[in-house]
């Protein structure tokens, strides 16, 4: 039969291994799942009008979809509403 000290040591080793695996997995997820944080300075905004789409607005102001999305983070293009402000000229820092 194992001594109590051996059981405690085994428990601590298993717990340490699980903690190590958890930390490694979280760092991998954070590193792969995040992008560098950018600040946006918007110098021109427009109000959404009835019938506007993200494509229409970005095309009108000569913006590619990547550029438009970069200066309008967290924008849900399927849920635009009249009067919503969209950045059409901005700088990422």
| pLDDT band with cut points at 50, 70 and 90 for residue 27 | low
Q: Which residues of 78-92 are buried (b: 16+ CB within 10 A; e: fewer)?
A: eebeeebebbbebee
42's CB contacts (< 8 A; 6+ apart) are: 71, 87, 89, 90
Q: What is the pLDDT of residues 51-77, one digit of tens each?
A: 999 999 999 999 999 999 999 999 999
Over residues 21-47, mean pLDDT: 71
Share of the chain above pLDDT 90, in %: 60
Which ranges of the chain would DSSP assign to H, the alpha helix?
4-33, 54-60, 65-71
Cβ 88 vs Cβ 63: under 8 Å? yes
Determine the pLDDT at residue 29: 42
Cβ 41 vs Cβ 91: under 8 Å? yes
């Amino acid at each position: 039969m194992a001594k109590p000290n051996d059981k405690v040591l085994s428990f601590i080793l298993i717990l340490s291994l699980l903690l190590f695996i958890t930390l490694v997995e979280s760092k991998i997820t954070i590193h792969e799942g995040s992008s560098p944080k950018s600040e946006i300075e918007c110098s021109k905004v427009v109000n959404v009008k009835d019938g506007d789409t993200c494509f229409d607005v970005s095309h009108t102001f000569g913006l590619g979809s990547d550029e438009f999305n970069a200066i309008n983070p967290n924008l849900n293009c399927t849920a635009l509403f009249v009067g919503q402000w969209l950045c059409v000229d901005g700088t990422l820092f």
